[in-house]
Structure 1
Amino acid sequence: MTYMKTLSAALMASAAMATAAAACEVTLRSADTHPDGYPTIEAVKYMGELIQERTDGRICIEVFHSAQLGEERDTIEQTRFGVIDMTRVSMGPFNNLIEETKVVSLPYIFRSVAHMNTVMDGPIGEQILAAFEPHDLIGLAYYDAGARSFYNSQRPITSLADLKDMKVRVMQSDIFVDMMDALGASATPLPYGEVYSSIQTGVIDGAENNPPSFESSGHFEVAKYYTLDEHLIVPEALVMSKTSFDKLSAEDQEIVRQAAKESVPHMRALWAEREKASTEKVLAAGAEIITDIDKTPFIEAMVPVYEKHVTTDVLRDLVERIQATE
């Protein structure tokens, strides 16, 4: 999608929702690729309710779900330029822009979702959020994206041999491509919206994602083997255009920051419910969830990935501190 097309889409979508936001002095447009009702969507809506209440209706948030304003890379650029005000994006697309985001995108850097939440809620998380600002973005909060695992249309994956030469879609991130290369698979970066048809037509064999995304995307219909290897536990970032943020008063900026933080536990509660429901749904539809897997060879295969991407003192320090966090 070209810049002009994404700009046009943003303006048309904004105009369509203008009536509903007419009572607000400031309407912040927030983009997301997930469908309406998804936990990240509902979290930003909740954030908007808090902001509207605390500003006496002066500031509202319009949430554009289902990639109405473009795929994640599109919305990052639009947000940096101030075309839209906020976006919820996976960490992967930020890796080539913001060095610090590489660390939380490393395979097996987090031992569990609980470990990830502890790290991102603390000083390490704050340090990474601050790294967005030099790139015309204000890091507001992290949302839980669960653990990402492999799924495919060919066979259950229980060993490295099962992954060999398999064509697997990954996000457009060098780390994720290198991860697949290290595992012996063929990495295929594709926009999220193209995954279903690409599996269906055999362009790729599978992809990797969390259970709610596996379910909500319908990917379980064309790739029934889901291996719970949990290779990536990557938080997602809610970021705001620095241009839009700087237009707010200091008081309103604090309201926005605080509301974003308070939306996090709300999102996590919704996520836990959604993950359980999604797992039940795909199992009922005939998908197979494989849990009998030895992760050790997968973890050991990541040594060259760490060596390639953890190359600065800043990154090495972050890795050591994450691994030391209980």
Structure 2
Amino acid sequence: MKIVKTLASALLASVALATTSMACEITLKSSDTHPDGYPTVTAVQHMGKLLEERTDGRLCIEVFHSAQLGQEKDTIEQTKFGVIDLNRVSTGPFNNLVEETKVISLPYVFKSVDHMHTVMDGPIGEEILEAFVPHGYVGLAFYDGGSRSFYNKVKPIKSIDDLAGMKVRVMQSDIFVDMMTALGANATPMPYGEVYSAIQTGVIDGAENNWPSFESSGHYEVAGYYTLDQHLIVPEVLVMSKISWDKLSADDQAAVRQAAKDSVQVMRDLWVAREKASEEKVRAAGVEVITDIDKAPFMAAMDSVYEKHVTSDKLKDLVARIRATD
């Protein structure tokens, strides 16, 4: 019965989307791995409403949430070739493609979420968005990804020693792999959608992510320990296929860019509320949340990560400018 209801709901949603799409001259297909109602999904839907209003219904956005179009690695490739028009993704998977994204994926590069906002809303953020263009993407806006912390099914993590030998899932990024190695853990890159079963079956011991992702994915059901070390504050990015972008008029391009910018604050407001609700739900479920942790040794262990990945003068300059930003 549950499967029938799910299929019926999906069919109704498809009909509704098709009806909306028929009314628009151009419908942009957008991908997100997160579920419906997640702040990033709602933000792009809001962007679509703004775009439809501002173009008198000529431009629309059809959002495919819950990884309907594939996991991030696959959708990034599809976006480059114009199969997908818009894509909300983590910056981590772009690290090996867009060099500048390495900097904002570095552990402890941001002092706080407010500091990250100041940096990404300013000239440094615009510079990094522009860096996507030569690789086949148009960077439109940065969304929040929260602060990422470790969770696992084995034991409370209170120190670096507790991580020794643990199998921890990370995004498919060399920086994330090297971060885990520096902390003494065994990094296991894998798609986000495979993490739940991997923890459940013991393929990995745990992973790392923010409150909303830990909760919405159901990972808290199989990982009973969450350590608030906040090793990463990594913004997420909304990109558009350069192929799709070039098909638009200059006016429509401006409308898309402005609607994306205007969706950022909506996303941030939703994020704050979602973080609080997710934390309450996780704590109520009995997950042990570890807050008594000395971050200094974790931060000191990252020196090797910076030495390996911040090698060019361009990246060194970006790190210095981020750190100098108040």
Both proteins in one fold, TM over 0.5: yes
Give the corresponding residue for 1:276: 276
Structure 1 residue matching 2:18: 3-state secondary structure: coil
Give the corresponding residue for 1:7: none
RMSD of aligned residue pairs (Cα, Å): 1.2
Pairing 1:79–2:72 present: no
Question: Residue by residue, what CA displacement relative to the aligned partner does 1:67-125 show, whole Å, maximum 9, x if unpaired?
Answer: 00000011111110000100000011000000000000000001111111110000000
Give the corresponding residue for 1:129: 129
Partner Cα distance (1:159, 1:105) in 2: 22
**Contact kept in structure 2, 1:159 and 1:294, CA below 8 Å:** yes
Partner Cα distance (1:72, 1:292) in 2: 34
Structure 2 residue matching 1:35: 3-state secondary structure: coil
Pairing 1:147–2:147 present: yes
Give the corresponding residue for 1:254: 254
Aligned-pair CA distance for 1:16 = 8.9
Give the corresponding residue for 2:18: 18
How many pairs align?
314
Aligned-pair CA distance for 1:19 = 3.2
Partner letter of residue 77 of structure 2? E
Give the corresponding residue for 2:116: 116
Aligned-pair CA distance for 1:15 = 9.2
Structure 2: state its 5+ residue gaps: 1-12
Give the corresponding residue for 1:226: 226
Partner Cα distance (1:226, 1:194) in 2: 19
**Contact kept in structure 2, 1:140 and 1:239, CA below 8 Å:** yes
**Contact kept in structure 2, 1:143 and 1:267, CA below 8 Å:** yes
Partner Cα distance (1:161, 1:200) in 2: 23
Aligned-pair CA distance for 1:14 = 8.3
Aligned-pair CA distance for 1:286 = 0.6
* Matched ranges for 1:1-326 at <5 A: 17-326=17-326
Aligned-pair CA distance for 1:18 = 2.8
Aligned-pair CA distance for 1:224 = 1.2
Give the corresponding residue for 1:5: none
Partner Cα distance (1:207, 1:52) in 2: 39
Structure 1 segments (4+ residues) deviating >2 Å: 13-20
Structure 2 residue matching 1:60: 3-state secondary structure: strand
Partner letter of residue 143 of structure 1? Y
When residues 25 and 249 of structure 1 are mapped into structure 2, their CA distance, relative to the original with a 3 A threshold, is same
**Contact kept in structure 2, 1:14 and 1:29, CA below 8 Å:** no
Partner Cα distance (1:172, 1:126) in 2: 24
Question: Residue by residue, what CA displacement relative to the aligned partner does 1:137-177 show, whole Å, maximum 9, x if unpaired?
Answer: 00000000110000000111110110000000000000000
Partner Cα distance (1:254, 1:99) in 2: 26
> TM-score w.r.t. structure 2 length?
0.95
Structure 1 residue matching 2:22: 3-state secondary structure: coil
Partner Cα distance (2:278, 2:229) in 1: 17
Question: Residue by residue, what CA displacement relative to the aligned partner does 1:36-75 show, whole Å, maximum 9, x if unpaired?
Answer: 0000000000000000000000000000000000000111
Partner letter of residue 215 of structure 1? E
> TM-score w.r.t. structure 1 length?
0.95
Partner Cα distance (1:198, 1:47) in 2: 35
Partner Cα distance (1:94, 1:257) in 2: 20
Question: Residue by residue, what CA displacement relative to the aligned partner does 1:225-264 show, whole Å, maximum 9, x if unpaired?
Answer: 0000000000000000111111111111101000000000
